[in-house]
Amino acid sequence: MARRANAATPVALLPTNGDAVAVVAKFFRALGDPTRLRLLEFLLHEEHTVTECVARIGLSQGRVSTHLGCLADCGYVQVRRAGRHAYYQVADPRVAQLVLLAHALAADNHAALCACHRIRDPE
């Protein structure tokens, strides 16, 4: 059976050793928390302060700051400091593509995801 030619640029994959796979798994774990995903979605189109993020997400400032710190440490968002304020924004436009793709895939697989008992819902 002939393979269909792909006109898109080939994707550079990580080496197949265990460490590289663990890094990709960690990449997805950072997105696996609903609060972090909501923060990313809020930051997709413009930068926001922690106070604005708190108002949008509805959690304490400390919890929101912890999640923003995680997103920053993992490279999803970047912070710009101006005086006493910190402004967060998505660090890479591919994050928006990833979030939109995740929503589309989740919508297409909604029934299967809801029926999955192997992955627990967050508590």
- Kindly state whether residue 8 falls inside one of the protein's structural domains: no
Owner of token pair 């995680």: 70
**Rounded to whole angstroms, how far apart are CA atoms 10 and 1?**
21
Q: Is residue 96 part of a domain?
A: yes
> Is 103 among the domain residues?
yes
User: What is the count of structural domains for the chain?
Assistant: 1
Domain holding 48: CATH number? 1.10.10.10
What is the pLDDT averaged over residues 58-73?
A: 96
Residue 65 in any domain: the answer is: yes
Residue 50 covered by a domain:
yes
Q: Which of 15-29, 38-52, 63-77, 85-99 has the lowest mean pLDDT?
A: 15-29
Domain-located, residue 106:
yes
In a domain, 79, yes or no: yes
In a domain, 7, yes or no: no
Give per-residue pLDDT as tens, 86-110. Answer: 999 999 999 989 999 999 999 999 9
121 or 114, which is more confident: 114
Categorize the per-residue pLDDT at 8 as very low, low, confident or very high, splitting at 50, 70 and 90: low
Q: 66 is in which domain, residue-wise?
A: 20-115
Residue 58, Ramachandran bin (φ over 0: left; ψ between -120 and 50: alpha; else beta): left
